[in-house]
């Protein structure tokens, strides 16, 4: 019997003409560490980058945008829970879209595809570890009045491997404990170092 390996319909998607390429496998020029130093993640021969040490964040800040990225979690059969291929995409450096090996699980609000501790994914769209997966993210930043008071929450829609997992989900506050608690109208894209060799490739952004 022939084995069928399902692939994301947006895998290897090329950036639109007016998109900003954040990583194409050649360099880390679009990224830095939070402290301003050069990004130190490893670029692999196949054009992926691998988490090594320190979170990295884009040099540029963004507000409303569409983001495409591809990721691969490692195989860690000895690990459990949050130790299985953990990383994350922090939108505006505030709101974490979780990356984790959650294959075959009933998704909770800290599993892959979750807005961390805010909203579980609508369904489990994960592939097994060591398989390339895609996130296609649309986010609208929070809005503020002239006095700086927030008048609307950030809102995010996410497709994982071509399947809708977050549908105009409102994010009422920043997620996680390590980053700023204030909300902003624009910010960088942060990729998290959670001490797992997660890989990323083909990252581009389309400002709206």
pLDDT of residue 177: 62
> What is the residue-averaged pLDDT of the chain?
94
Q: Tens digits of per-residue pLDDT, 181-193?
A: 899 999 999 999 9
Query: For residue 190, which phi and psi values (nearest 5 degrees)?
Result: -110, 130
187 burial (CB, 10 Å; 0-12 / 13-18 / 19+) is: buried
pLDDT of residue 122: 99
28: Cβ–Cβ under 8 A, 6 or more apart, which residues? 38, 39, 41, 43, 49, 56
* Residue segments in the chain with a per-residue pLDDT below the cut of 70: 1-2, 77, 79-81, 83, 177-179
Report how far residue 57's alpha carbon sits from residue 61's, in angstroms, rounded to the nearest whole number.
9
pLDDT of residue 114: 98
Domains and CATH numbers, the chain: 59-207 (2.60.120.560)
Q: Could you tell me which of 139, 137, 112 has the C-alpha nearest to residue 123?
A: 112
pLDDT of residue 204: 99
Helix (H, G, I), strand (E, B) or coil at 82: helix
Report how far residue 2's alpha carbon sits from residue 100's, in angstroms, rounded to the nearest whole number.
29
pLDDT of residue 1: 66
pLDDT of residue 2: 67
């Amino acid at each position: 019997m022939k084995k069928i390996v399902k692939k994301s319909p947006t895998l290897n998607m090329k950036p639109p003409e007016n998109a900003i390429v954040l990583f194409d496998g050649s360099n880390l020029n679009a990224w830095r560490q939070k402290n301003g130093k050069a990004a130190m993640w490893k670029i692999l021969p196949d054009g992926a980058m691998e988490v090594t040490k320190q979170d990295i964040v884009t040099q540029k800040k963004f507000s409303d945008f569409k983001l495409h990225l591809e990721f691969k979690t490692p195989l860690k059969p000895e690990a459990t829970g949050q130790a299985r291929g953990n990383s994350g995409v922090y939108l505006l450096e505030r709101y974490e879209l979780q990356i984790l090996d959650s294959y075959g699980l009933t998704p909770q609000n800290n599993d892959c595809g979750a807005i961390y501790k805010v909203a579980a994914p609508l369904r489990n769209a994960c592939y097994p570890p060591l398989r390339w997966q895609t996130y296609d993210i649309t986010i609208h930043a929070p809005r503020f009045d002239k006095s700086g008071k927030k008048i609307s929450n950030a809102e995010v829609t996410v497709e994982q491997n071509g399947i809708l997992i977050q549908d105009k989900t409102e994010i009422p506050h920043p997620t996680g404990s390590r980053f700023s608690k204030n909300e902003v109208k624009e910010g960088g894209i942060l990729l998290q170092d959670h001490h797992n060799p997660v890989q990323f490739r083909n990252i581009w952004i389309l400002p709206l």
